[in-house]
Structure 1
Amino acid sequence: RILINMPYLVSATNNFEHFVNLLIEKRVFNSFMVNKIKSYEGIVDKLKCLYEMIPKRGPEAFKRLTDALHESGNRDLALRLKSNRCINNNVDFNSQLQGDGICGSKENKLNSQRQNNNPDSLTEQQSENYPMRRLPRGHWIIINIEEFNGIILQDKRVGSLENVRKLKEIGEFFGFKVSLALNVNQQSFQNFIEDFCKDGQPKNSVVLIVMSHGQKPGMLSANRLQSFAIEVVAEDGVTVSSDWIIDQFSAMNCKALAGKPKIIMFITCSGEDLIKDQAIQTDGKKFVSYPRNSDLMTVFSNFPGCQPIEYLWTKFLIEELSSVLVCNWRSKDVVTILQEVNRNLKSKSDAHLFLNFTSIGFDKKFYFTPVTEEERKQIFEMQAL
């Protein structure tokens, strides 16, 4: 039961230290085993090691495990294990973390329900969370520049298509409508963004991920939107300002996303801290006023260098983000997930690699919620229209 249910157990176990202490008190583990568990860096690896040891500890160990789960606040896991039901048999744990498929085999059906204690499922707390149950959940946009043909020589971002594949898979897993723009020049880059923001179609949310080389802004805009800025290098070597990109998703330029969650990620090298934001009011269909930039989260990568090692840091970052997201979507919102990613990145890179993320009016919790196979088919049909 434990090995079959490994992915869910690892991702849903809370109160790790208390849980381990209870297992020690119940003599499930000796000091050597505890040291082995604690020798792993991440909580995911610690829990995986812990659960793999249980079947080797004899028939009494299972009962003591369920007792420890119950006493440590993991009552739901204890009940599910006792009932002999497979919690989530569709996802292979190793494939989740090693890139063989963020949602396992495409033939598998997805159990997309959260734990009952997730605030997103509680009616009285719905006002605290962004609604993420519609189909599609929103738009998942990936802009990736791998090759450069401009006058200024830029190294090819080797391996970036693998990052695109992994991110695309994540977006589909969580029920987003995925759009790609690959190796576009500056004009096509801007047209792609503008067309999306001004197409007049209803939108539930957006996650925009921009990956390329980056440069520090040569001149600071008078209307600073963020405390961090970057010039994204397009295929032709011409740059697109992160401020310009962010502003296209404002309530003035993209009315369909006014009051809706917007997460914009820039995974590039270079950048610098700058200053402040601004806000205006505009009318929507129901004459509701929104700040110019609200319900907005921006994420900037902070790489310790640029070419040629930038692609290695990018790959490392994407893998860490994927791992934490897959293992924690049931219980953690996007802010908590990014905080954990940051802790892991800083720990594994000697504090050289981390994310700068800020929010403007992002006043609700944003949970990623997967879809069933049937719902995924519906989304693909919508994309074909």
Structure 2
Amino acid sequence: MSSETEQSTDQDAYDMSDARLALTLCITKNRAGSETDVKALEQMYKDLGFKSTVKRNLPAKGFWEELEKFRDEMDQMKDPVSCCFVVLMAHGEEGVLQGIDGHTIKLEDLFSILTNKNCRALRGKPKVFIVQACRGDQKDAGEVVQPAGSDETVVLAEQLPKLPTYTDILHVYATVEGYIAYRHEEDGSFFIQTIVDVFTNMKGHILDLLTEVTRRMADAELMEEGKPRKVNPEIQSTLRKLLYLQ
């Protein structure tokens, strides 16, 4: 009975026994507090067994080039990869990040580099994108909640198992579409710091952990120029299995 349960668990969760890789692409110039976030992420990667790379102050095109380089190095590795994290931190608007040169790069273009179609090493493996950037200029003051009262080659190719192009991807945004993402000049961003705390100190699969991140952020009240603000992350998932980091 126990072996059946273990087998079921194995089938329902991603195999995390191989290499874990992380890439942080960030603009730290004129973004006070961002270095605090980088240090916190580096410690989190160490605690979770990820090998990490950090690239700072890139032009818009540099985000693309560094992510392509990351992809190419994974595809050339002899040993398999279990999972990758990509953290993107910069000024931004909906759908774009701003490089240090003032030009922008589409998030969609960056995400496409690691799809099942474009990254052989991560085909069927979890790819986690964490985006700390504004998605607009709206600010949320919050709402009051009332208490509740025939060719052989073709045939062979068709017989091989296939995956959709966009599975096994997790996009985690610091805020919802159209809204500001907040960052403290000394303590770093509320979003990154909460993720690091939850991912490092709690156990469970990643969507449960992100629910806790959302709860903490939603419960908190941030002050901006003397006015209370609310903020919550947005999570978009095409994961097919449970992803355990611990």
Normalised-by-shorter TM-score class: 0.7 to 0.9
* TM-score normalised over the length of structure 2: 0.77
Given that residues 183 and 190 in structure 2 are in contact (C-alpha distance below 8 angstroms), is that contact kept between their aligned partners in structure 1? no
2:166 pairs with 1:305: no
Helix, strand or coil for the counterpart of 2:233?
A: strand
Q: 313, 338, 342: which is aligned to 2:214?
A: 342
Higher relative contact order (CA 8 A, sep 6+): 2
Which residue does the alignment assign to 2:86?
A: 208
SS at match of 1:354: coil
Whichever residue aligns with residue 197 of structure 1, its letter is: R
Larger relative strand fraction: 2
Report matched runs for 1:352-363 at 5 Å: 352-360=230-238, 362-363=239-240
Gaps of 5+ in 2: 138-155, 222-227
Give a deviation string over 1:134-187, Cα, whole Å, max 9, x none: 3x3x1111111112xxxxxxxx10121111011011011111110111111122
**Secondary structure at the residue paired with 2:81?**
coil
Q: Radius of gyration: which is bigger? A: 1
Runs of 4+ in structure 1 deviating by more than 4 angstroms, as ranges, are 311-314
Query: CA–CA distance in 1 between the matches of 2:59 and 2:184?
Result: 20
Q: Matches of 2:123 and 2:136 in 1, distance apart?
A: 28
Question: For the residues of structure 1 that align with 2:188 and 2:6, how far apart are their CA atoms?
Answer: 37
TM-score normalised to structure 1 length: 0.51
In 1, distance between residues paired with 2:169 and 2:42? 21
CA contact (8 A) 2:67 2:113 kept: yes
Cα distance in structure 2, aligned partners of 1:196 and 1:315: 25
Q: Give CA-to-partner distance per residue, 1:269-326, whole Å, 9 cap, x none.
A: 1249xxxxxxxxxx99x954221111111111117536xx644595222222222222
- Say which structure is richer in helix: 1
How many angstroms apart in 1 are the aligned matches of 2:216 and 2:132?
17
One-letter amino acid of the structure 2 residue matched with residue 367 of structure 1: Y
Q: Which secondary structure does the structure 1 equivalent of 2:61 belong to?
A: helix
Q: Within 1, Cα distance between the matches of 2:69 and 2:212?
A: 34
Per the TM alignment, residue 248 of structure 1 is displaced from its structure 2 partner at its CA by 0.8
CA change 1:326–1:253 in 2 (3 A) is same
RMSD across aligned positions (CA)? 2.5
Cα shift readout 1:33-89 (whole Å, capped 9, x = no counterpart):
xxxxxxxxxxxxxxxxxxxxxxxxxxxxxxxxxxxxxxxxxxxxxxxxxxxxxxxxx
Q: Which residue of 2 aligns with 1:325?
A: 199
Unaligned runs of 5+ in 1: 1-120, 148-155, 217-229, 273-282, 370-385
Letter in 1 for 2:171: T
3-state DSSP class of the match of 2:82?
coil
